[in-house]
């Protein structure tokens, strides 16, 4: 139990410090000082800061995607809109309201999805993923192809939201969002 507590304290300290001063400005020394653990304890759990970031983002991103999937499912059940469209709206709204998380995901996306294991860990948090993929599944299409289109949709939303929110490129998010949603809709027609 003590070991789990230390690991949890390290992750909580890292998340707090990343929010306060940014990922780049946060050192392992800062994290262990805030977590009140020895530096060697950090290296029992993580080989470096990059691995810690990857594990935090894997868990947080997976849980957030699950929450968004559930919220979009409820909207579709109530007849408010198609589930795929509702999920795209929820994801865009999440990124608008959580720009620090969006930035952290986009700056570290390669470490999250650098291997199948990490991608599978993120996706394992999404309880309704198989049902959602059925919405994407087209005639004579494999599950893998449906998954690829789902991943492309998430990547497109993440990258375009990031550039629109932080750099107003190609335009402001208010201007880009309707165009983005139409592009996403075409992916599942």
- Can you read off the two tokens belonging to residue 122? 């993120």
Cβ atoms of residues 110 and 49 within 8 Å: no
What is the tens place of the pLDDT at every residue in 39-58? 999 999 999 998 898 888 88
pTM exceeds cut of 0.85: no
Cα separation, 23 vs 115, in Å, equals 22
- The lowest-confidence range among 44-48, 144-148, 164-168, 171-175 is 144-148
Cα separation, 155 vs 105, in Å, equals 11
Cα separation, 101 vs 116, in Å, equals 22
What value does the mean pLDDT take over residues 54-71? 91
Task: Quote the percentage of the chain above a pLDDT of 90.
Answer: 59
**Tally of CA atoms within 13 A in the half-sphere of 148 that contains its CB:** 6
What is the tens place of the pLDDT at every residue in 11-30? 999 989 988 888 889 999 99
């Amino acid at each position: 139990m003590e070991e789990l507590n230390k690991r949890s304290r390290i992750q909580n300290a890292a998340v707090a410090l990343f929010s306060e001063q940014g990922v780049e400005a946060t050192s392992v020394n800062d994290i262990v000082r805030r977590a009140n653990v020895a530096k060697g304890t950090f290296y029992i759990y993580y080989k470096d800061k990059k691995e810690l970031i990857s594990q935090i983002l894997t868990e947080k991103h997976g849980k957030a995607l699950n929450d968004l999937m559930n919220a979009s499912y409820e909207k579709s059940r109530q007849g408010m809109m198609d589930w795929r469209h509702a999920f795209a709206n929820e994801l865009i709204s999440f990124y608008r309201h959580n720009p620090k998380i969006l930035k952290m995901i986009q700056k570290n996306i390669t470490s999250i999805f650098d291997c199948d294991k990490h991608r599978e860990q993120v996706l394992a948090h999404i309880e309704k993923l198989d049902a959602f993929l059925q919405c994407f599944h087209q005639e004579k299409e494999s599950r893998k192809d449906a998954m690829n289109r789902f991943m492309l949709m998430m990547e497109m939303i993440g990258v375009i939201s990031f550039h629109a929110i932080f750099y107003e490129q190609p335009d402001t998010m208010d201007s880009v969002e309707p165009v983005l949603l139409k592009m996403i809709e075409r992916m599942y027609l």
